[in-house]
Structure 1
Amino acid sequence: MALTVHDVDRFEAFRPRLEALAYRLLGSASEAEDVVQETFLRWQAADVERIEVPEAWLTKVLTNLCLTQLTSARARRETYVGQWLPEPLLAGDPMLGPADTAEQRESVSYAVLVLLERLSPGERAVYVLREAFGYPHREIAEILDLTEAASAQIFHRAKKHVAAGKARTGIDEAAARRIVEEFLAAATSGRTEPLVRLLTEDAVSVGDGGGKVPARAKAFEGALAVAKFLRGLFKPSEAKRALVGGSPEMYVRTANGDPAVVAVVEDRVVGVMCLEITAEGIAAFRNQVNPDKLERATRQWAAGDQGEPLLSAF
């Protein structure tokens, strides 16, 4: 049955919410877009006049498509070259979704998206539906074909797993930006000591190059090891300039609500380094340099006036 203009408009009204849900479930903007498009095709093929609650129907279809995607993604990530990190979204991207509460903002943070990878697909779905979108367990049970009691139990278990992996927070946005600026100054000083002072003792650094850009297969662990790596990373060289196509300009921005360093070459985002900042110092650096996972960020970046960079590197 062909969709009417009204039916298409009804779907488009839900698209932003569906994209935000799919992104949180999959950790990939491009995969989220694909799943939302598949959901539209299912909507197009359905007898939409008999669907009493379109939002519930669309959410159920999308969530189950994402569960299938997550199951296959786990197999693909076993052969992924190096570390796998989510696709970062810059501030203002509508796919970041609802941010009215602290729980909603935290659920899309880069650190939490990384932690969600440890959950089973079912746990991740329950956690996202409840924590990020506020669905009651009765509706989650209907979406996932569970009992309400099972939904509540799964959510409790998932939330416990996420909480156990989170670093301690407690720092405001202005202080976080100041620390990022101090970090860049220290990283480009050519010395290790200033960096060590900014890090927690158990700091880690992880990079995702996807086999297309050099990135260490294992994380750097410990303040000294991380500081030495970062000192070398920001040390200028012709080889690095050749690798990214020029001398990157560094901007302090937010990605997924976290403080971040965005590296740009001629309006092309070549790296997004998300920093996990706690009251004790910088606890983690998660550096996305896989060009496939920076295409959306590049489109957004090129569409606006970004002002002057904080510094140029390499």
Structure 2
Amino acid sequence: MNTQDQLAERFETERGHLRALAYRMLGSLSEAEDAVQEVWLRLSRVDVGDVENLPAWLRTVASRLCLDMLRSRGSRREDLIGQRIPDQAWETGGGHDPEHEALMVDSVGRALLVVLDTLAPAERVAFVLHDMFAVPFDRIAPIVERSPVTTKKIASRARHKVRGAPAAPAADLARQRHVVDAFLAAARGGDLDALLAVLAPDVVRRADPAALPPGAATVARGARTVAAGTAVFGRRSHFAETALVNGVVGVVVAPRGRLLLALTFAIEGEQITAYEVIADPVRLRRLDLSVLDNVRIVRA
């Protein structure tokens, strides 16, 4: 085995970790693969004998590439918020490798991917490296071109955005989540009886026109009418996840981790008295979104 083959073999042992890192930073499997491939190209052009810690070197190069990609992306990804996608994309995920992309999305969480997209580039890189990959701040600082103290503040600011500020006590949030989880389970299963159980008899559902088939009414009233109409939401519910929406439990719908819809709920006791489906891009951008669950640390 020649030196180049040995280098390629060492790189392959790190590829999965680099892909996981890049995906969390970029939220796009194709972009993550491009970043990892560029890391390999740069590695093939350096004298590996000068690299003291290869995994750390690869992670640093990948992080800097992702930071540059995030900065150059600008507002392009924000412009995709709420954009309609073809019907088949709801079924396949629309990626170049739908099954692999679905696994990547699930490994991170749709709500977290949506919230990560609201962070500034340096915030996202610092948060992902520290909170998800346990990289010390003194190693992150050179990547984001800040001092370790400033880098820690950047990550703290990002963490606050990711976790949000609940507008209700923990017990109330737990009750809300129980109800919303029941709603989602019923929608995913097409279970009319379960929907009727979680919807108040006089429930009202409002929806932006973009969330509905052409000509459908934007307001529906009564449990049976709303439950029947929820069938339209059924296939989309497979791309839905609970999240904090304006400080209370709601739902984000995000195929490929890209926000397309958000649902807000009014809940009394164990039933939903009203809910709204938000699809207008301007309204989606104004929402305060954060995650409900703890962020998972990825081990090397």
Taking structure 1 as the reference length, the TM-score comes to: 0.57
Identify the residue that residue 250 of structure 2 maps to in structure 1.
283
Equivalences for residues 233-244 of structure 1 within 5 A: 234-235=231-232
Equivalences for residues 1-314 of structure 1 within 5 A: 4-77=4-77, 79-80=79-80, 82-83=82-83, 95=104, 108-164=108-164, 170=174, 180-184=184-188, 189=192, 196-197=199-200, 231-232=228-229, 234-235=231-232, 261-262=237-238, 273-276=239-242, 283-288=250-255
Moved more, 65-74 or 124-133: 65-74
Residues 287 and 81 of structure 1: CA distance in aligned 2, closer, same or farther (over 3 Å): closer
Q: 8 Å contact 1:126–1:140 — kept in the other structure?
A: yes
CA distance in 2, matches of 1:95, 1:66: 17
Deviations 1:207-231 (Å, cap 9, x if unpaired)? xxxxxxx867xxxxxx979x98885
Q: 8 Å contact 1:22–1:35 — kept in the other structure?
A: yes
Q: 8 Å contact 2:166–2:248 — kept in the other structure?
A: no
CA distance in 1, matches of 2:178, 2:198: 20
Letter in 2 for 1:284: V
CA distance in 2, matches of 1:55, 1:49: 14
SS for the counterpart of 1:284 is strand
Length, aligned pairs only: 233
- Shift of residue 139 of structure 1? 1.4
Letter in 1 for 2:185: E
Q: 8 Å contact 1:22–1:63 — kept in the other structure?
A: yes
Residues 84 and 49 of structure 1: CA distance in aligned 2, closer, same or farther (over 3 Å): farther
Letter in 1 for 2:48: V
Q: 8 Å contact 1:35–1:65 — kept in the other structure?
A: yes
CA distance in 1, matches of 2:152, 2:166: 21
CA distance in 1, matches of 2:67, 2:101: 27
Deviations 1:14-64 (Å, cap 9, x if unpaired)? 111110111110111111111111111111111122111111211111111
Deviations 1:245-278 (Å, cap 9, x if unpaired)? xxx9x6xxxxxxxxx954xxxxxxxxxx222068
- Shift of residue 114 of structure 1? 1.0
Q: 8 Å contact 2:22–2:62 — kept in the other structure?
A: yes
CA distance in 2, matches of 1:55, 1:285: 35
Residues 123 and 78 of structure 1: CA distance in aligned 2, closer, same or farther (over 3 Å): closer
Taking structure 2 as the reference length, the TM-score comes to: 0.59
Letter in 1 for 2:10: R
SS for the counterpart of 1:75 is coil
Instruction: Supply the RMSD in Å over aligned alpha carbons.
Output: 5.0
CA distance in 2, matches of 1:67, 1:204: 39
Deviations 1:51-95 (Å, cap 9, x if unpaired)? 111112111111111111112223323543744999998799774
CA distance in 2, matches of 1:155, 1:230: 42
Q: 8 Å contact 1:29–1:87 — kept in the other structure?
A: no
SS for the counterpart of 1:56 is helix
**Per chain length, whose mean CA-contact separation is higher, i.e. which structure has more relative contact order (CA < 8 Å, sep 6+)?**
2
